[in-house]
């Protein structure tokens, strides 16, 4: 699993004009990609890493502060554009594999005590955010 984690001052996801997930104020916006060999155990590791990642102000984490996370599935994190001009998506897991694992990340975060907002899997989403810093970290588990 891969994640692009951004410290934000607010973020939201809109689908067909409807806001489906939103955090206001400090939090993390997390774009999650799934590949073919990912497992629920990897989803758990990613959730624990996100919960304890000390990238908020004063080197604090979501577990320290209780700030929310907006988790958005993004298969394009496994795009490969090393050859040619058109990326391939072969490393990205298909929807029936990826969707339950992204949901598992969210469920594990909630079990840890996190407030989690989400996008809508497979939808054309408009993600907007205010990157605080800017501060962006890439994670892979």
Residue 19 a catalytic site member:
no
Residue 75 a catalytic site member:
yes
Choosing from 6, 35, 75, 118, the catalytic residue is 75
Choosing from 19, 24, 65, 76, the catalytic residue is 76
| HEC sequence for the chain | CEEEEEEEEEEEEEECCEEEEEEEEEEEEEEEECECCCCHHHHHHHHHHHHHCCCEHHHECHHHHCCCEEEEECHHHHCECCCCCCCECCCECCHHHHHHHHHHHHHHHHHHCCCEEECCCCCCCEEEEEEEEEEEEEEEC
Residue 135 a catalytic site member:
no
Catalytic annotation, residues: 74-76
């Amino acid at each position: 699993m891969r994640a692009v984690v951004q410290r934000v001052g607010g973020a939201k996801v809109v689908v067909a004009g409807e806001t489906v997930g939103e955090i206001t104020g400090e939090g993390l916006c997390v774009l999650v990609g799934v590949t073919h060999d990912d497992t629920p155990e990897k989803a758990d590791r990613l959730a624990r890493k996100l919960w304890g990642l000390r990238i908020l102000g004063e080197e604090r984490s979501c577990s320290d502060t209780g700030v929310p996370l907006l988790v958005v599935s993004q298969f394009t994190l496994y795009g490969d554009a090393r050859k040619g001009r058109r990326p391939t998506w072969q490393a990205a897991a298909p929807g029936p594999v990826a969707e339950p694992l992204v949901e598992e990340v969210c469920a594990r975060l909630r079990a840890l005590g996190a407030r989690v907002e989400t996008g809508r899997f497979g939808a054309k989403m408009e993600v907007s955010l205010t990157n605080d810093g800017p501060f962006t970290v890439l994670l892979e588990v």
